[in-house]
Structure 1
Amino acid sequence: MAQQKSSKYTAFPPVGLTDRQWPNRVITQAPMWMSTDLRDGNQALFEPMNADKKMQMFQTLCAIGFKQIEVAFPSASETEFGFVRRLIEEQHIPADVTIEVLTQAREHLIRRTFESLKGAKQAIVHVYNATCPSFRDFVFGMSKAEVVKMAVDAVKLIKTLAEQMPETKITLEYSPELFTATELDFAKEVCDAVTAAWGATPDNKVILNLPTTVEIATPNIYADQIEWMHRNLARRDSVIISLHPHNDRGTAVAAAELALMAGAERVEGCLFGNGERTGNVDLVTLALNMHTQGVDPQLDFSDINAVARTYEHCTQLPIHPRHPYVGDLVFTAFSGSHQDAIKKGFAAQKADETWSVPYLPIDPADVGRSYDSVIRVNSQSGKGGIAYLMETEHGVLMPRRLQVEFSGVVQKHTDTHGGEVNADDLWRLFAGEYLDAETPVRYREHHLFEHGSQQGIRLTVDIGGTPHILSGEGNGPINAAMHALQGAGIEAQVRSYEERSMVPMGEDGNARAVAFIEMAANGRGERYGVGIDSNIVTASIKALISGVNRLGVNALDAAA
């Protein structure tokens, strides 16, 4: 860092809480969870989700177990408004799920927000206004009294509009935006005024959301602030204290954990820490941290790969390979000493005993990850360069997860045969594993046809050596082919799909296409299938069948 004036930055002052209790507490139960993945602006994505992706994300969040989901900022755009209407009118909201909508404390925005909620059985209306000195003085030019009045007027309007919609159970959520930068006594004043205006009772609680809108201090300061509010708020038995930590300092997870110890009951955040700037608190990490401490998080991440692939598809954001619990490499050991310790730990681990395997803070099986990828070989292990040789010598640029998977195939070969593996040997191993297998299913040919808005396919294959003509329909050739195979009793799911051109050219001088399809089947983990052909659709169908063969899925009905 260049030399700067010492006065440019200063430490955030500590909270005068000399008898703090949170350091001696532990988290013993899961909080109320609220996902903000679908908020206005789709949490600052390069490419905002369209309606279909928003719906896919909403359904994924419901399947994980979220009971509160902030679905939109309805007054911000027609897209946001329309999505709320679609959820309600098409009855996509499960009975035990409450949608949440966000609005600023401005009359016309609040009224527009309520228009979006017509017909909903229940909803949380989340209203906010900034309360800290910099916003009062520089942004809005408002006094403390004016800030309080703005919040109270908004709450009174929400209460009036809620009474005009008796068919919808409305819960109020209020956020003093930039809470962590607001004087605690003033934050309490605003929050107490809000709960009084709403008429909060133990049977009609207000959610007070106390956000680290910008993370400006260490996590212990946030915990002190939360404990101070917890101990000093009026009508505490009529309030749910909610957290909304951001990750500007990289400590959002720690801040959330300490603040839960300090008395908070609810957490707002996103899958894998998505969000503006450095993101919101990562709810996956937070929940699985609880899991490793013996606390049931009440969220289902038993198939973390499926959640990750949906997230990447909907947000168009990659998950870092070192991301806690879900990154492609977080359960992988390349170091020989680590590999040795893990092998010995696995050998000693008993099924009915507390988990205690070196270098693995969680059993990968808990999140649906197989043990196949735990120990892998890279170039530093003396058997590397696999991905480099496949790309430079054979024109196949493999997806990262396929690189890890194929390295296991190479490792088995070298462990059995010894010696070095050259580029030609590598291609023979690759072809034998992914391209040449013809059992239980052998591809012969296919024909595509249009069936209304659907893509139809007639797929000719051998199953167990017997010819079959299978038919299917779907939203594209791969989906149609998968439905055709499922009709033959082949139960598998497509997890991800990639296609690329092969370089160098094929022997005839024309470029060929290579398709990679990651597939899964119950009880069989996940495997890649690979197909190569001059036609990309044919390559894709070959990859699909390659994946089926590598999974070893039985074609029960057809084979019978």
Structure 2
Amino acid sequence: MKHANKYQRTYFNVENAPMRWIKKDYVDHAPIWCSVDLRDGNQSLIIPMSLEEKLEFFKMLVKVGFKEIEVGFPAASETEYEFLRALIDQNLIPDDVTIQVLTQAREHIIRKTFDALKGAKKAIVHLYNSTSVAQREQVFKKSKEEIIQIAVDGAKLIKSIADETKGNYQFEYSPESFTQTEMDFAADICNAVIDVLKPTPENKVIINLPVTVQVSMPHVYANQIEYMCDHLHERENIIVSLHPHNDRGCGVADSEMGLLAGADRIEGTLFGNGERTGNVDIITLAMNMYSQGVEPNLDFTNIPEIIEVYERVTRMHVYERSPYSGELVFAAFSGSHQDAIAKGMKWREEKQLDTWTVPYLPVDPQDVGRQYDGGVIRINSQSGKGGIGYLLEQKYGYDTPKEMREDIGYLMKGISDHRHQELKSDEILEIFKQEYFNKTMPIHMLDYHFVRTNEVMVTLTIEMNGEKRDIVGRGNGRLDAVSNAITSSLNINYKDLLYKEHALTKGSTSQAVAYVGIHDEKGLMYWGAGIHDDIIAASVIALFSAVNRLMGGK
């Protein structure tokens, strides 16, 4: 990169910052949440939402649990004006939800904003003007004193109009481009507005300190927030709000550190939608708290449903790796990860634990509406025996022997590698059954009959090379007798018979499954499986399946 020297740090750090916030290691309570999806998020869309889509999105935000929702900039466009009127006229705003509207500190815009609010039971009127050095010098060409006067005049006007208008109004002020503003000047302009608005314990003023453009590391922002909390007038009657954008990819870190530094409120969007790289993702923030045992006071128990509405009305896409919400964030393809997850889930089940400590899964996927079956364990050429075994057991009820899982694992990985694609769970089941179950070539077992004296004797009717014949064997048990009949009568050599059986716990509960493994003369293991209503029949079928696989049959 040739031209790094043309860039300079444009933020204002706090000299000798006390950094009390750094002694805290997590956010221990939920902030006040304000969704700005319908304003900040909507204005960043290639195709802004229609009136009907905005109404649907608003209802979803209410369902999630937002108590403050910024619904738009009603003086900026007719669509936003009509949306606000629809919410009010159709009585769609619940009593416990406060709508928020944005306005510049300009008289005609402020007056039109209040016109749009007529009939609203309560609302937050959000006033802003830009304060950074670059904006003052390049855009407005005004002095600090003139910039303060814009804010003061706007504050006086919204207060006087609110006093004359029916309804319950709360005020919010944002020094836009706050992080690129000198801290003493940011405090001066906010305090000038506070002095005009005169907050009370019953009607606090919101001071919103936005990361309009992210220009510093998160700890710098935290120092700025702590400074403002220490220098704002009537701090006990002030709600300090954060509105972080994500230009440096640090929106979540800015928010969390800002909350540690004393902030009370967060403005953000679902999935981080917003201008440029987006606003802070409220889902990530809330779920980060949830994963630390803190109730976020928002309901994300059905993220797939939220994604469906979001993607449909915004025409945006939730990235597969988006924290907590992406399709793949709980999916493990790596064999070692799958093995650890499978063992962790089994350990938790055996211990009957209420707490969640499963490796590689920061939260329980079911808490956000995701399922274990086919969602946590995903199979491709990188997968391992543990994950495939876990999927077969959890989704379909096949508890294969530990030694057999390695064989299944290599089989599935090879197929995935050959196809250059992931194997879906139903494909895995089909391959599993086709490869191991009820193999009848070259030896087709047609019938059997056991007789028990001092030992077990069996007579087997088989078909081989188109010829039916009976073979006889004796042994200590039924499967031993069948095995001896095969080795002695058919001259097939194998050893070290391994066996496992269980009732099939998924689907038809009347069926039994048996697995048999045998070693050939070179020590290679061959597995077969049988499924039948009778466990003896299942075990005999499993043995013949293993023998047929050893002989290279189907």
TM-score for the superposition, normalised by structure 2: 0.70
**SS in structure 2 of the partner of residue 80 of structure 1:** helix
Work out whether 1:418 is the aligned partner of 2:409. Answer: no
Partner of 1:32: 32
**Superposition pairs for residues 290-301 of structure 1, below 5 Å?**
290-301=289-300
Structure 2: state its 5+ residue gaps. Answer: 384-410, 437-554
Q: In the aligned structure 1, how far is the partner of 2:286 from the partner of 2:217? A: 21
Partner of 2:178: 179
Q: In the aligned structure 2, how far is the partner of 1:40 from the partner of 1:99? A: 14
**Superposition pairs for residues 182-331 of structure 1, below 5 Å?**
182-331=181-330
- Over residues 137-166 of structure 1, what are the superposed CA-to-partner deviations in whole Å (9 max), with x where a residue is unaligned? 11001111111110011111101110111x
Change (3 A) 1:305 1:19: same
Change (3 A) 1:341 1:100: same
Deviates most, 332-341 or 15-24: 15-24
Residues 98 and 122 of structure 2 are in contact (CA less than 8 Å); yes or no, is this contact kept in structure 1? Answer: yes
**SS in structure 2 of the partner of residue 281 of structure 1:** coil
Partner of 2:476: none
Residues 99 and 124 of structure 1 are in contact (CA less than 8 Å); yes or no, is this contact kept in structure 2? Answer: yes
Structure 2 counterpart of 1:92, one-letter code: L
**SS in structure 1 of the partner of residue 46 of structure 2:** coil
- Over residues 337-381 of structure 1, what are the superposed CA-to-partner deviations in whole Å (9 max), with x where a residue is unaligned? 111111000011144332111110100011011101111212444
Partner of 1:92: 92
Partner of 1:409: 426
Residues 12 and 183 of structure 2 are in contact (CA less than 8 Å); yes or no, is this contact kept in structure 1? Answer: no
Q: In the aligned structure 2, how far is the partner of 1:88 from the partner of 1:133? A: 39
Change (3 A) 1:85 1:12: closer
Partner of 1:44: 44
Residues 242 and 265 of structure 2 are in contact (CA less than 8 Å); yes or no, is this contact kept in structure 1? Answer: yes
Q: In the aligned structure 2, how far is the partner of 1:67 from the partner of 1:387? A: 48
**SS in structure 2 of the partner of residue 174 of structure 1:** strand
Q: In the aligned structure 2, how far is the partner of 1:184 from the partner of 1:360? A: 41
1:410 positional shift: 1.1
Structure 2 counterpart of 1:37, one-letter code: D
Q: In the aligned structure 2, how far is the partner of 1:12 from the partner of 1:40? A: 23
Residues 41 and 48 of structure 1 are in contact (CA less than 8 Å); yes or no, is this contact kept in structure 2? Answer: no
- Over residues 431-478 of structure 1, what are the superposed CA-to-partner deviations in whole Å (9 max), with x where a residue is unaligned? xxxxxxxxxxxxxxxxxxxxxxxxxxxxxxxxxxxxxxxxxxxxxxxx
Q: In the aligned structure 1, how far is the partner of 2:431 from the partner of 2:66? A: 46
Q: In the aligned structure 1, how far is the partner of 2:10 from the partner of 2:34? A: 31
Residues 11 and 181 of structure 2 are in contact (CA less than 8 Å); yes or no, is this contact kept in structure 1? Answer: no
**SS in structure 2 of the partner of residue 142 of structure 1:** coil
Work out whether 1:362 is the aligned partner of 2:363. Answer: yes
Residues 17 and 228 of structure 1 are in contact (CA less than 8 Å); yes or no, is this contact kept in structure 2? Answer: no
Residues 17 and 223 of structure 2 are in contact (CA less than 8 Å); yes or no, is this contact kept in structure 1? Answer: no
**SS in structure 2 of the partner of residue 241 of structure 1:** strand
Number of residue-to-residue matches in the alignment: 406
Q: In the aligned structure 1, how far is the partner of 2:283 from the partner of 2:43? A: 16
1:314 positional shift: 1.1
Change (3 A) 1:13 1:177: closer
Residues 332 and 338 of structure 2 are in contact (CA less than 8 Å); yes or no, is this contact kept in structure 1? Answer: yes
Residues 287 and 296 of structure 2 are in contact (CA less than 8 Å); yes or no, is this contact kept in structure 1? Answer: yes
**SS in structure 1 of the partner of residue 125 of structure 2:** strand
1:40 positional shift: 6.0
Q: In the aligned structure 1, how far is the partner of 2:361 from the partner of 2:203? A: 44
Change (3 A) 1:385 1:233: farther
Structure 2 counterpart of 1:327, one-letter code: G
Q: In the aligned structure 2, how far is the partner of 1:19 from the partner of 1:40? A: 33
Q: In the aligned structure 1, how far is the partner of 2:273 from the partner of 2:381? A: 33
Structure 1 counterpart of 2:202, one-letter code: D
Change (3 A) 1:14 1:47: same
Structure 2 counterpart of 1:358, one-letter code: P
1:388 positional shift: 12
Q: In the aligned structure 2, how far is the partner of 1:386 from the partner of 1:102? A: 57
Q: In the aligned structure 2, how far is the partner of 1:351 from the partner of 1:307? A: 31
Change (3 A) 1:72 1:316: same
Residues 40 and 76 of structure 1 are in contact (CA less than 8 Å); yes or no, is this contact kept in structure 2? Answer: no
Q: In the aligned structure 2, how far is the partner of 1:195 from the partner of 1:209? A: 12
**SS in structure 1 of the partner of residue 74 of structure 2:** coil
Partner of 2:477: none
1:417 positional shift: 3.4
**Superposition pairs for residues 320-359 of structure 1, below 5 Å?**
320-349=319-348, 350-359=351-360
Structure 2 counterpart of 1:226, one-letter code: I
Residues 323 and 330 of structure 1 are in contact (CA less than 8 Å); yes or no, is this contact kept in structure 2? Answer: yes
Residues 243 and 266 of structure 2 are in contact (CA less than 8 Å); yes or no, is this contact kept in structure 1? Answer: yes
Q: In the aligned structure 1, how far is the partner of 2:108 from the partner of 2:413? A: 62
1:413 positional shift: 2.4
Partner of 1:375: 377
Q: In the aligned structure 1, how far is the partner of 2:51 from the partner of 2:418? A: 42
Q: In the aligned structure 1, how far is the partner of 2:323 from the partner of 2:217? A: 21
Residues 386 and 407 of structure 1 are in contact (CA less than 8 Å); yes or no, is this contact kept in structure 2? Answer: no
**SS in structure 1 of the partner of residue 5 of structure 2:** coil
Q: In the aligned structure 2, how far is the partner of 1:13 from the partner of 1:157? A: 31
**SS in structure 2 of the partner of residue 9 of structure 1:** coil
Partner of 1:70: 70
Q: In the aligned structure 1, how far is the partner of 2:337 from the partner of 2:104? A: 52
1:47 positional shift: 1.2
**SS in structure 2 of the partner of residue 39 of structure 1:** helix
Structure 1 counterpart of 2:87, one-letter code: L
- Over residues 32-79 of structure 1, what are the superposed CA-to-partner deviations in whole Å (9 max), with x where a residue is unaligned? 000000006713111111011101100000000000000010001110
Q: In the aligned structure 1, how far is the partner of 2:85 from the partner of 2:354? A: 50
Q: In the aligned structure 2, how far is the partner of 1:13 from the partner of 1:306? A: 42
* Larger Rg belongs to: 2
Percent of pairs with identical residues = 52
1:237 positional shift: 1.0
Partner of 1:138: 138
Change (3 A) 1:73 1:220: same
Structure 2 counterpart of 1:53, one-letter code: E
Structure 1 counterpart of 2:161, one-letter code: L
Structure 1: state its 5+ residue gaps. Answer: 393-402, 420-560
Residues 40 and 73 of structure 1 are in contact (CA less than 8 Å); yes or no, is this contact kept in structure 2? Answer: no
Q: In the aligned structure 1, how far is the partner of 2:19 from the partner of 2:41? A: 38
**SS in structure 1 of the partner of residue 71 of structure 2:** strand
Structure 2 counterpart of 1:239, one-letter code: I
Structure 2 counterpart of 1:343, one-letter code: A
Residues 36 and 268 of structure 1 are in contact (CA less than 8 Å); yes or no, is this contact kept in structure 2? Answer: yes
Partner of 1:426: none
Residues 274 and 282 of structure 1 are in contact (CA less than 8 Å); yes or no, is this contact kept in structure 2? Answer: yes
- Over residues 97-155 of structure 1, what are the superposed CA-to-partner deviations in whole Å (9 max), with x where a residue is unaligned? 00000011100000000000000000000010001111111100111111111001111
